[in-house]
Amino acid sequence: MKLKLYIAGLILLGLCVPVPAQRCLGLKAWYDDYNKEYFSHKLPDQVIIERLYRKDVLAWTSKDEAGTFHITFSTAFKLGERHEHLTLLHEMCHVKTWDEVADGTEHGRKWKICMYTLRSEGAFDSSLIEAYDGH
Ligand SMILES: [Zn+2]
């Protein structure tokens, strides 16, 4: 009972939600968790996760002149929490394989290996990889 009240309080404050792994709401918190859990903490800690309006994509990854990655979610789409987390993993693979993106191959071999590795670790199924063939 005390725990339920505590969680409800956190939800009211907008700080945390009682998701299965006890993670706090907030895409940066998920980024940090996924970085530890699936990327051996090799992705940069410093990343800006933001929201901007763009109607042609759900999300995208970019790198600014200072070398900081930005993972941007479009406000044109209302994604459910699960879909947003899967999209975050997709973008994190772009961070990991940024050299490939810089060469002009956004969803190339390295990105696919990253995604298949995540799949093999149980993050999601392969349909989220194969849908990008040819893009
Ligand atoms: Zn992509």
How many Å lie between the centroid of ligand 1 and the Cα of residue 94?
7
Measure the CA–CA gap between 99 and 14, rounded to whole angstroms. Answer: 37
pLDDT at 25: 52
Integer angstrom CA distances of residue 109 from 34, 51, 88: 21, 28, 19
pLDDT at position 80 is: 84
**C-alpha 18 to ligand 1 mean position (Å):** 29
Distance 128 CA to ligand 1 centre (A): 10
User: Cα(107) to centroid of ligand 1, in Å?
Assistant: 6
Q: Are 57 and 74 in contact (CB under 8 A)?
A: yes
> What gap in Å lies between CA 105 and CA 19, rounded to an integer?
35
8 CA → ligand 1 middle, Å: 35
What 3-state DSSP class applies to 70? Answer: strand
Q: Where are the domains of the chain?
A: 24-130
Let me know if domain 24-130 sits in CATH 3.40.50.300: no
* 8 A C-beta contact, residue 98 and residue 70: no
Q: Tokens 């009682």, residue?
A: 18
In angstroms, what is the span from residue 9 Cα to ligand 1's centroid?
A: 36
CA angle 83, 88, 12 (to 5 degrees): 70
CA 114 to each of CA 60, 90, 96: distance values in angstroms, whole numbers, following the listed order:
16, 9, 8
Q: Cα(2) to centroid of ligand 1, in Å?
A: 42
Higher pLDDT, 113 or 79: 113
Report whether pLDDT(9) > 80: no
pLDDT digits over 66-89, tens only? 999 999 999 898 888 888 989 999
Give 18-65 pLDDT, tens digit per residue: 444 333 458 999 999 999 999 999 999 999 999 999 999 999 999 999
Contact 111, 97 (CB under 8 A): yes
